[in-house]
Structure 1
Amino acid sequence: MSDVLSGASARIRLVSLLFLTMLFSLAGQANEDIEGAGDHPLVERIAGSFITDNFRDEFKRVVLPAGPFDRSERAHTEQLALEGEWLKMIYRFDDPDISDLRVHRTFVQTLPEAGFELIFEGSDLDLIEQNTGRSADFLTNTSESYLLTNRGPLLNRQPVHYLLARSQDAPVHVAIATYQAPGPGGGTQYAITVVTEEEMEVATEHRPLSASEMEQGLMESGRVAIQDILFAFDSDEILAESSSSLATIAELMQEHQELGLLVVGHTDDVGNYDYNLRLSMERSTAVVRYLEQRHGIAGSRLRSAGAGMMAPIASNRTEAGRAQNRRVELVEMRD
């Protein structure tokens, strides 16, 4: 009987030893970066943190909050729209007692020492609105305001700190959001977004429409999309290469003196709803102003409108699709 008990005891000790070995092995692996992840060379991590998620896009349009949140406008007072290489790394700590505010203050202090200029930094009420009830699926979202304004029931009432900085030596912007993640795997976490600006020529397969083709589109569909009216990035400034299409629109209206046009601006889905609605309206207004001032079209025959991201004609998941969605449409006005 004692031999049986002795054998059972040995097996229990062996199982316990194996369990503890596995536990310590997992603990040793817990604070390692995920495979293929690493810091950006210009931004050092906080000691004791490790990367749990890592995302990269060779060329992406990103909108970064650059001012406090205005509740009346439901948007940040200033936003910075950038295009270029996009990196996002999510870091966490094994130590659950790491202070989120201390992490934020560390970045506020060390980034200028590393050659960055702080554009904006704030916490809690400077950044967010009331809980929207939506989930905090911010990891791959290109607008950092998504984390700050759509934290949902999980992150709501948790402290959030944010900063935006630009390198003084390279075309690099860094946004860092530090927050307390709830739940068993929570504790202080921080998300570093790095955007390296660059210009990219997006090839288009369409050709400029003639006045007769515009007329045909209006007659058959009541509207026609003009893809060749181009604007400066994040602006209502009309680029010089748009002059040909604008001259064609003027030609059409001069040939048909009874024709009135609603000029509708459209955007892709990068940035929040209000931002895109405002930008599309500003761009359509710029087109109307151009036709009035450069071609003498009567203002009574034109009206501007902005549809923002509401009516895509292609998927916004690709740059080619987003390029198609950034357009101006002409709609016939019959009154």
Structure 2
Amino acid sequence: MVTLQQGLKFLIIMMLLMKGMAGAFADAIEPTSDIDGSADNPLIKRYDGSFIVSYETFSYTDFTVPLGALKRDPDTEKRDASNNSVYAPEKTLDIEGMLTRIAYVLPPERSPLEVLRNYQDEIEKAKGELLFQCKSEECGGDATRSSAGGGGDMSLAMIFFREGDLKDEAFSNGACALTPAIKDQRFFSAKIPASDGDTYVTVQTYTMLDDLYCKALNGRTIAIVHVVEPKSRDKKMVVVGATEMASSISTQGSISLYGIYFDTDKSDLKPESEPTLKEIAGLLALDEKLAVLIVGHTDNEGKFAYNLDLSSKRAAAVKKALVTTYKIKAERLATSGAGMMAPVASNDDEEGRAKNRRVALVKLN
């Protein structure tokens, strides 16, 4: 039997261990300089006296610009990977280009509204155009969350990134700024025209709330700035040819293809898919007796049933294109969706998830 004294001793040891584990990370501190390797985007100045606490650039990526408030998905049972009810802006603009994400900690006693208005002044100076703005609950979703949390409603910040996407160390100034409970949320999206293409900017400001590991920044205003600049995409992907497809199917019975493109959560084929579709048609022309099963695969983002249905629709879209555009006989093509059931890589990071999003051809006869 465990005595009271033994129980208290065990409790003290566990508390010390937990404290030691937390101590392995650096708590937030009052920033006095920008983090290493960071810099303002030349198009958007910072608020005087603020410091960069999180910084990330993407040489080429896609980005969703909210043009309306978040609305709950009509399928009220739909959940994201963190078991939140799914929300999305009622109107968006999907763009691609070079993305810079910067998180600033503002000086004390600066309100989210004051900071937002200063950023709007910069947009006006650049002869830009405000596309959408909102505050607090008007923005839709959970206005008390930033990018972290599960089991509730999605927040505005979750449209852009999630806690698991961040490179900032736990309890660092960057992680504290991007993942806390929040209040007094403000937001706008804008466009800055230029001769070489439009630049899009989003600014989200809020008061962060955290009196534990992030208490050094508790009550401070945070500004999250996204800048997406026009940039031509490097076209370096090698399209898998019909002969290579035939070889793989002959020796392995199947081949996975990554040249079939869809927008997130959609089953409409993108124009960039045409080279690979053409090679699939070439494969089937090489052997007129060959029949294949087209299998759609997804990553594990979202609910199982939803991904299963989405992957089935994507496989059907590939078949439809082959039949209607390339005149392949429908009876030579079967379709199925595997959803997230057959990963070829870990779903714990974007690199792995990208490998899992694919279309496979499986030999039928």
Q: Is 2:311 aligned against 1:311?
A: no
Aligned residue number for residue 91 of structure 1: 104
Aligned residue number for residue 261 of structure 1: 293
In the alignment, the residues of structure 1 paired with residue 198 and residue 336 of structure 2 have an alpha-carbon distance, to the nearest angstrom, of 35
Aligned residue number for residue 251 of structure 1: 285
In the alignment, the residues of structure 2 paired with residue 31 and residue 191 of structure 1 have an alpha-carbon distance, to the nearest angstrom, of 18
Q: 1:116 aligns with which of 105, 122, 128?
A: 128
Q: What per-residue deviation string (whole Å, max 9, x for no partner) do you get for residues 37-64 of structure 1? A: 4322211222342323333343444444
Letter in 2 for 1:293: T
Aligned residue number for residue 5 of structure 2: none
Whether the 8 Å CA contact 1:65–1:79 is kept in 2: the answer is yes
Q: What per-residue deviation string (whole Å, max 9, x for no partner) do you get for residues 5-50 of structure 1? A: xxxxxxxxxxxxxxxxxxxxxxxx9554345543222112223423
What TM-score comes out, normalization by structure 1 length? 0.65
For residue 100 of structure 1, report the CA deviation from its aligned partner: 1.1
Counting aligned pairs with the same residue, the percent is: 21
Aligned residue number for residue 298 of structure 1: 330
Change (3 A) 1:179 1:204: same
Q: How many residues align?
A: 288
Letter in 1 for 2:43: L
Aligned residue number for residue 119 of structure 2: 107
Q: 1:193 aligns with which of 226, 240, 253?
A: 226
In the alignment, the residues of structure 2 paired with residue 80 and residue 280 of structure 1 have an alpha-carbon distance, to the nearest angstrom, of 24
In the alignment, the residues of structure 1 paired with residue 183 and residue 281 of structure 2 have an alpha-carbon distance, to the nearest angstrom, of 54
* RMSD value, Cα: 4.5
Whether the 8 Å CA contact 2:71–2:87 is kept in 1: the answer is yes
3-state DSSP class of the match of 1:158? Answer: strand
3-state DSSP class of the match of 1:244? Answer: helix
For residue 316 of structure 1, report the CA deviation from its aligned partner: 8.4
For residue 168 of structure 1, report the CA deviation from its aligned partner: 1.1
3-state DSSP class of the match of 1:176? Answer: strand
In the alignment, the residues of structure 2 paired with residue 260 and residue 292 of structure 1 have an alpha-carbon distance, to the nearest angstrom, of 13
Letter in 1 for 2:279: S
Q: 2:149 aligns with which of 117, 130, 133?
A: 133
Q: 1:236 aligns with which of 269, 276, 301?
A: 269
Q: Which runs of 5+ in 2 are unaligned?
A: 1-29, 75-85, 152-156, 164-174
Q: Which runs of 5+ in 1 are unaligned?
A: 1-28, 136-140
User: Radius of gyration: which is bigger?
Assistant: 1
In the alignment, the residues of structure 2 paired with residue 45 and residue 230 of structure 1 have an alpha-carbon distance, to the nearest angstrom, of 37
In the alignment, the residues of structure 2 paired with residue 113 and residue 45 of structure 1 have an alpha-carbon distance, to the nearest angstrom, of 14
Change (3 A) 1:207 1:246: closer
What TM-score comes out, normalization by structure 2 length? 0.61
Change (3 A) 1:226 1:43: same
